[in-house]
Amino acid sequence: MANTESTFRNMVLSLTLIALVSSALLGFVYEVTKEPIALSNLNKKLEAIRQVVPEFDNNPNDEMFLLPTGEGDSLEVYPAKKDDMIIGYAINTYTNMGFSGNIKLMAGFKPDGSIFNITVLEHKETPGLGTKMTDPGFKDQFIEKNPAEFELRVKKDGGPVDAITAATISSRAFCDAVQRAYNTLQKGEIK
């Protein structure tokens, strides 16, 4: 078998062929995994909604709507209904005030504005410190509280919220995300 001559033309042809094969394989893998990833994300969202509002019989994802926060963006609101009556709202909220950046929560509110439950969707807080915001010992102190009367601030800032030890910034960020959801729901004047 004869060796092919190492010329510029042969190198360009070889690299072009490698790039075409690689991009075709990457495109194939993307198409194969796109639908399962979307389904997984939808199931994760629906599970978060189930955790933060009372038991419902509608599909909140189908009835989702956006409410402006007044800060130039909008939050996703998922109405939970039982026998066509609103029993709660799940709000996909966030804050950029976390120690390690963005924190995303799903906050559930009853129609009277009181908090039903909260679950953490995503964060990059310090393991063993800020990650404790997912522990029931921290997040359960918000349940049944109405932010109209319960100030969402940590004790260090004059509020009633017990901050996570050595993670005051994460605790403040959690409060900020819940406050953003509550304020957006109130501005939307939803009843």
CB 103 within 8 A of CB 174: yes
Instruction: Write down the pTM of the prediction.
Output: 0.81
Q: Give every CB contact of residue 188 below 8 A, 6+ residues apart in sequence.
A: 67, 77
Tokens describing residue 156: 């260090």
- What confidence tens digit (pLDDT) does each residue in 134-180 have? 888 899 999 999 999 999 999 999 999 999 888 899 999 999 999 99
Residue 1 has pLDDT above 70, yes or no: no
**Residue type (1 letter), 172:** R
Count other Cβ atoms within 10 Å, centred on residue 179: 17
Q: Which residue, 34, 188, 30, is CA-closest to 109?
A: 188
Q: Between the CA of residue 26 and those of 15, 17, 29, 39, 41, what are the distances in Å?
A: 16, 14, 5, 20, 21
165 φ, ψ to 5°?
Answer: -55, 130
CB 143 within 8 A of CB 115: yes
Residue 3 has pLDDT above 80, yes or no: no
- Identify the pLDDT of residue 70: 85
Residue 129 has pLDDT above 90, yes or no: no
More confident residue, 131 or 112: 112
As a whole number, mean pLDDT of residues 37-59 equals 93
Residue 189: band (very low, low, confident or very high) from pLDDT cuts 50, 70, 90: low
Cα–Cα distance, 140 to 53 (Å, whole number): 14
Q: What percent of the chain has pLDDT over 70?
A: 96
